[in-house]
Structure 1
Amino acid sequence: MDCCESERREAFHENDRQLSVAQADSTPRLLLNRGHTSSAQIPRDGRVSPGSQGHDLRGARMLLVEQASLSQSRKTWRKKMDFLLSVIGYAVDLGNVWRFPYICYQNGGGAFLLPYLLMALFGGVPLFYMELALGQFHQSGCISIWKHICPIFKGIGFSICVIGLYIAFYYNTVMAWAMYYLLSSFQTTLPWATCFNTWNTANCTHLTPGNPNTSWTNGSTSPAEEFYIRHILQLHLSPGLHELGAVNWQLALCLLLIFTVVYFSIWKGVKTSGKVVWLTATLPYLVLLVLLIRGATLPGAWRGVVYYLKPDWWKLLSTTVWVDAAVQIFFSLGPGFGVLLALASYNPFHNNCYKDALLTSSINCLTSMLSGLVIFTVLGYMAEVRQQGVDAVARDIGPSLLFIICAEAIASMPAANFFAIIFFLMIITLGLDSTFAGLEGLITAMLDEYPQVLGRRREWVVLGLVCLCYLGALSTVCYGGAYIVKLLEEYATGPALIAVVFLEIAAVSWFYGTSRFCRDVQVMLGFLPGQFWRVCWRAICPCFLLFILGSFLASPLEIKLFGYLYPPWSAILGYIIGASPLICVPCYMVYYLLSTRGTFRQVSESREKFNIFITNSVCETWYMIHSTQIF
């Protein structure tokens, strides 16, 4: 009898799991409702071999589909490019522009690229690849994915969501500042270009290239610095973290505008956000190219480029350089935020996420280097104007580099309004991409975990989340809001996130099993990950994360902002904020152990049913493997 005309079924046991393989001349959906009578066998290495009856399965292609997905299809990206641009937009954020250039020049210039690339190769990219593969294979967000991997670690997903909320409370405020700058750029004279405004002080000093009548002293402040500190942030109206003052209504409106754009960009899911990223992910590259060409023509630009790229090989002997390289690549690629899991979960099952991981992580690293060239041409120019060394001009890291140094340089250029508009528009789009992805990670997690309650109410879920984030961010637009931004930036995404990612890779590599994960990748992509990736996931990446975590814990933070030294109690508050997400992990473990029967090993294994369909290229036969846990 021909194999396409028969139906057979048989069951066998492997590692306490009952497997049944069905063969039929029907589609997978119809197959679920039919009876079957015999089988094929699948060995431990995951390769499909001919059954005992001699059925030829050579050339068979395996497709793993969740049982739930057969009754309710999952949305997918309109185009492959939508996914790639979304991942690139998420990974390439404000840190690529304001943090990498500073870290690079501070740690040996061109010599820093060696530890940076090594940390990317052995730590950042393997984690990036792992999360894309997990999300695409299991088609789940950061909470529900754990029922497929290791249910007892489901608290990791809730921890990721808490960290994501903390980030949403402060990250969008930086875009609100940029929005205020963007709107101010349409004035005839840029308001941060002169010292004749109501917010300026007697120390305000306006320097112009080639003007010998003014000089820069240690007590001087630039009009850009006073515009940022005294007009945008209005820090002089707040005595410190203990008294934030009233809400700055102008920034509150800018923040509302940012969240409105965010809502209408993600409310329909990847179908709408996938369109928006064609603008928000590509515009920064166009602006960076324009600014690089303009910056290269500025007087003194070469001083900045030399300072940026000149290698100091002796600095590689310092542990700090390697720590900074590891921290930079980790936070730049962004594993552990649940975003890569969510974005990849909307991919077709057989999408080559391996190539996607290599491509997007490479683009991210190259963008950081390009941003450094742009920033340091500007810093070299400012050093020429102020008649100072580049190191004196480049003393600031973070938003000050963008909103003071770069803003001041732009104000002194011809066509200053044009360059100000495109520069701050670039800052906004860089931040929007990351916010789209960050909130999508939270939304996907909630919708996948509670599909019956929230599945058909996505627009309302998005609206509720955006409103919650806006209300949580209002404290950051008070007169002392910048103190809150700095506190959350230092504590909310530091040791807590590193610890969460360490638990994640430990659960995947040591509990779920690297070999099992690699077989999943083989089912999905058609090839096994190489030995390099296995070693990285099993050993190198955990050591990489412990190295970063140890560096955080070994050097207590001492936070300063514009001369304001944070009080001692702020460290306690910061540690509470940082530790709060981690509480979810042990709490859920205790709950799961108390509510589930079996040993620790048994309750740590997935009980979820899944189906693998094998399509024979010769006779178009479907094989279904149905797996259930046996205790």
Structure 2
Amino acid sequence: MSKADTSAEAALSSVAVHVNQYNEPDEEHSKLLEPQSLTPTVTPSGQIRKVKSFTDTHKIRDVSAASGAASARCLRPYEQVTPYPEGSESGTNQYGAPSVRSLASIGMGCTDGRKMVIRRVPTSPTELFHLVRPPTPPDEDTASHESDCDEEEEDDETVHLKPRRPFWANKIQFVLACVGYSVGLGNVWRFPYLCYKSGGGAFLIPYFIILLVCGVPMLFMELAVGQYTAHGPIGALSQICPLFKGAGLASVVISFLMSTYYAVIIAWAIYYFFTSFKSEVPWASCSNRWNTAQCWVPFHNHTKPNGSQTPTEQFFEKKVLNISDGIEFPGGMRWELAACLVCAWVLVYFALWKSIKSSAKVRYITTTLPFLLIIVFLGRSLTLDGADKGLRFFFKPDWELLKQSRPWVNAASQIFNSIGIAFGSMIMFASYNRFDNNFLHDTVAVSLVNAVTSLIVGIFTFATIGNIAFEQNTSVKDVIADSPGLLFVVYPQAIAKMPASQLWAVLFFFMFLCLGLNSQFAIVEVVVTSIQDGFPDMIRKRLVYHELLVLCVCMVSLIFGIPHIIRSGIYVFQLMDYYAASLSITYLAFFEVVAIAWFYGVGRLSRNIKQMTGRCPSLYFRFCWLVASPALLLALWVASLVDYTPPSYRQYPYPAWAQVLGWTIASLSLLCIPVYAVVVIVRSPGNSWREKFRNSIRPTFICDCGINGCDICCSDSEPPDDKTTIN
């Protein structure tokens, strides 16, 4: 027997051993898998690159069973190529690639979580010999792949079965995206408005209770789900528990509805921003053509007359909105706002048209700069006369109000809006993380920044309101009627009395514009990512470029935002915010935590987290997921229904047909969960309804411990009794 035949036979036996049974490498052997040096090599394209040289590369790259487990650090467990289903065309599959008929052909090569490689089964003596004695390590394309794995150079036998999913270039980009959303409109616009509406200090107590019981644990849970599945909210929940795929769809629906009227807030900020460049800010006096006889300029120790309005109130309502008498009187289009709305969507489009590659760079400015301006305005507001009066209202709770459900429901709505829980934003952000990212640190950082920013903005706002109450010789709660335009009335009034008021106005509304864009980036990215995950074939065939998909989403959202910029637009705005974002969110959050913690299982999720971070979540997180968060969310949802009060704008009550319209808007997200659950059960395989239900709650391909070589995730834990099939 020749030397080559002997080597080939030895190689074949070695491959058989590895394919039939693979044992997890011990710690000492795993150290051999670390790169030892950089070796220059010439790629087939003629480029000279330095690649990492491995001591034991052949045992994890060219043996199929070993490649799936030993590379678990950079390979998501479910990203394993399985044999094609029966009935496929002989020799081919739906991608036009050769069919895989042998386990030895699965997982040849490496993946970075975005691309899968398949090679044919080696048969010749030379190929079998190279399995054991590889001539050179695979090439690494560091210019186009940001991955912790090395990737083999493509050749004619390589077929890409899965499109690459981009990663964040670094951890800072991910943290800035999360922080930018939490410090966006949710904190600067919505928090002061709901806090003022809910009685000031009476709002802070439920706010921080819900933050600790629901906010932080659910944020940690969503980051874990997004990072583990590498999908948006629809894809992630459908893989974890198909029965509750409707919860992911509902979050996308809410995000889309929010994007239509959040863009209107940005349009208002753009309008104020350009108006601030005038020689005198137009909201400082009553001498403008839009002012009426009820306009009253505040003077120190002069009580505000009944029925009067300040110049800032009249500028917002008479000039910016040109508000009509009710939602039943639509009036004409506000063309100035229409132009600002188009400008807002143009900014959003060019920030998102290259996916996270473009939006991440924009966030370096839109997230960091507003923090500096917030600190500046905080210092300025604390020096105003009467600031202490507003701060007492902000920090001193009215204990009687805590017996009502409204402050608790508003606090829950604010927590979810500011952090992005149940809106799909955090799941979407985490889906672009590397598999081994330690997101516990990110959870703590985002939660802490959110809480601190809420307090800073609250102090800034209520110090300013206290100054206005001092000037008007009235109580803080009577300064202005609670409305979505609170920010555009209180801040401009304080700015008008500052020296160089034009400069302060430009800085403030530029800051507000940046914060609004941060929020808008996140909720639009949720819609775009979900469409890409849900309809990949359609996107690939009809919308070849990512830019076209983003353009379509922006155009549709722009069209749906037009009703907000007619004369009755503020009434439509209030209706949308009340029913789409406040009433539905606790319901959606409840079913999300039930789907993940109860149906998928806290134990299984904990093992998945250990696989990614090396540590299991603490008892605090597991208790909140299993008991505290669902119980509190259910109680808040029931209380909001029992104490339901129709929305109103100032003293204007909405007609019955408008309330029906509001419930119709809410049902777009509310009905997603039960309707899609019925569809999933009906479509699930099984001979009985019980069997169909059991199949509908089974994870589709989430890797569980002890399955297909994934026992690396919980070496210290016993595999669960119920094995999950990887489809």
SS of equivalent residue, structure 2 residue 437: coil
Q: Which amino acid aligns with 1:608?
A: F
Quote the offset at 1:592 in angstroms. 2.6
Structure 2 partner of 1:477:
565
Of 116, 124, 131, the match for 2:207: 116
SS of equivalent residue, structure 1 residue 540: helix
SS of equivalent residue, structure 1 residue 187: coil
2:267 pairs with 1:267: no
Quote the offset at 1:115 in angstroms. 3.5
1:86, 1:277 within 8 Å by CA — same for their partners in 2? yes
Greater shift in the superposed pair: 538-547 or 238-247:
238-247
1:244, 1:478 within 8 Å by CA — same for their partners in 2? yes
2:151 pairs with 1:141: no
2:484, 2:574 within 8 Å by CA — same for their partners in 1? no
Separation of aligned partners in 1, 2:677 and 2:409: 32
Q: Which amino acid aligns with 2:470?
A: E
TM alignment of 1:158-557, pairs within 5 A: 158-209=249-300, 216-235=304-323, 238-312=324-398, 316=402, 320-393=406-479, 395-455=480-540, 456-557=544-645
Unaligned runs of 5+ in 1: 13-22, 41-56, 617-626
Quote the offset at 1:518 in angstroms. 0.7
Quote the offset at 1:64 in angstroms. 2.8
Structure 2 partner of 1:127:
218
2:647, 2:654 within 8 Å by CA — same for their partners in 1? yes
Quote the offset at 1:356 in angstroms. 0.5
Which structure ranks higher in relative contact order (CA pairs < 8 Å, sequence separation ≥ 6)?
1
Separation of aligned partners in 2, 1:404 and 1:421: 15
* Per-residue CA distance 1:61-120 (angstroms, 9 max, x = gap): 695342374423320111211111110111222232344345556767557544432221
Q: Which amino acid aligns with 2:631?
A: C
2:413, 2:582 within 8 Å by CA — same for their partners in 1? no
Separation of aligned partners in 1, 2:203 and 2:490: 23
Of 653, 659, 675, the match for 1:571: 659
Separation of aligned partners in 2, 1:61 and 1:192: 59
Structure 2 partner of 1:91:
182
Quote the offset at 1:609 in angstroms. 7.2
1:64, 1:613 within 8 Å by CA — same for their partners in 2? no
Distance 1:316 1:246, change over 3 A: closer
* Per-residue CA distance 1:474-523 (angstroms, 9 max, x = gap): 11101111111000000012332322222221111111111111110010
Q: Which amino acid aligns with 1:126?
A: P
Separation of aligned partners in 2, 1:113 and 1:136: 32
Quote the offset at 1:336 in angstroms. 0.8
Larger radius of gyration: 2
Separation of aligned partners in 1, 2:361 and 2:511: 18
Q: Which amino acid aligns with 2:551?
A: L
Structure 2 partner of 1:19:
none
1:63, 1:612 within 8 Å by CA — same for their partners in 2? no
TM alignment of 1:101-112, pairs within 5 A: 101=192, 103-104=194-195
2:64 pairs with 1:64: no
Quote the offset at 1:11 in angstroms. 7.6
2:580, 2:665 within 8 Å by CA — same for their partners in 1? yes
Separation of aligned partners in 2, 1:530 and 1:9: 37
Separation of aligned partners in 2, 1:27 and 1:473: 57
Quote the offset at 1:315 in angstroms. 5.4
Q: Which amino acid aligns with 1:136?
A: Q
1:496, 1:582 within 8 Å by CA — same for their partners in 2? yes
Structure 2 partner of 1:606:
699
Quote the offset at 1:329 in angstroms. 2.3
2:295, 2:309 within 8 Å by CA — same for their partners in 1? yes
Q: Which amino acid aligns with 2:460?
A: V
* Per-residue CA distance 1:307-338 (angstroms, 9 max, x = gap): 32235566555555444443432332221111
Distance 1:221 1:515, change over 3 A: same
Quote the offset at 1:540 in angstroms. 1.0
Distance 1:422 1:384, change over 3 A: same
Distance 1:396 1:78, change over 3 A: farther
Of 641, 648, 651, the match for 1:560: 648
Distance 1:27 1:613, change over 3 A: farther
Separation of aligned partners in 2, 1:473 and 1:559: 20
1:323, 1:547 within 8 Å by CA — same for their partners in 2? no
Distance 1:615 1:279, change over 3 A: farther
Structure 2 partner of 1:51:
none
2:413, 2:581 within 8 Å by CA — same for their partners in 1? no
Quote the offset at 1:594 in angstroms. 2.9
Quote the offset at 1:541 in angstroms. 1.0
Q: CA RMSD in A?
A: 3.1
Greater shift in the superposed pair: 577-586 or 325-334:
325-334
SS of equivalent residue, structure 2 residue 305: coil
Separation of aligned partners in 1, 2:229 and 2:180: 23
SS of equivalent residue, structure 1 residue 492: helix
Separation of aligned partners in 2, 1:467 and 1:313: 47
Quote the offset at 1:370 in angstroms. 0.4
Quote the offset at 1:628 in angstroms. 7.3
1:76, 1:348 within 8 Å by CA — same for their partners in 2? yes
Structure 2 partner of 1:46:
none
2:410, 2:582 within 8 Å by CA — same for their partners in 1? no
1:108, 1:313 within 8 Å by CA — same for their partners in 2? no
Quote the offset at 1:215 in angstroms. 5.4
Of 596, 599, 615, the match for 2:684: 596
Separation of aligned partners in 2, 1:464 and 1:541: 37
Separation of aligned partners in 1, 2:188 and 2:234: 31
Quote the offset at 1:205 in angstroms. 1.3
TM-score by length of 2: 0.75
1:60, 1:615 within 8 Å by CA — same for their partners in 2? no
Q: Which amino acid aligns with 2:647?
A: I
1:155, 1:585 within 8 Å by CA — same for their partners in 2? yes
Separation of aligned partners in 1, 2:548 and 2:74: 37
Distance 1:166 1:265, change over 3 A: same
Separation of aligned partners in 2, 1:398 and 1:239: 15
Distance 1:107 1:557, change over 3 A: closer
Q: Which amino acid aligns with 1:174?
A: I
Quote the offset at 1:283 in angstroms. 2.1
Quote the offset at 1:582 in angstroms. 2.7
Quote the offset at 1:614 in angstroms. 7.1
Quote the offset at 1:139 in angstroms. 0.4
Distance 1:414 1:208, change over 3 A: farther
2:267, 2:337 within 8 Å by CA — same for their partners in 1? yes
TM alignment of 1:12-51, pairs within 5 A: 26=58, 30-31=62-63, 34=64
Separation of aligned partners in 1, 2:522 and 2:239: 23
Distance 1:86 1:612, change over 3 A: farther
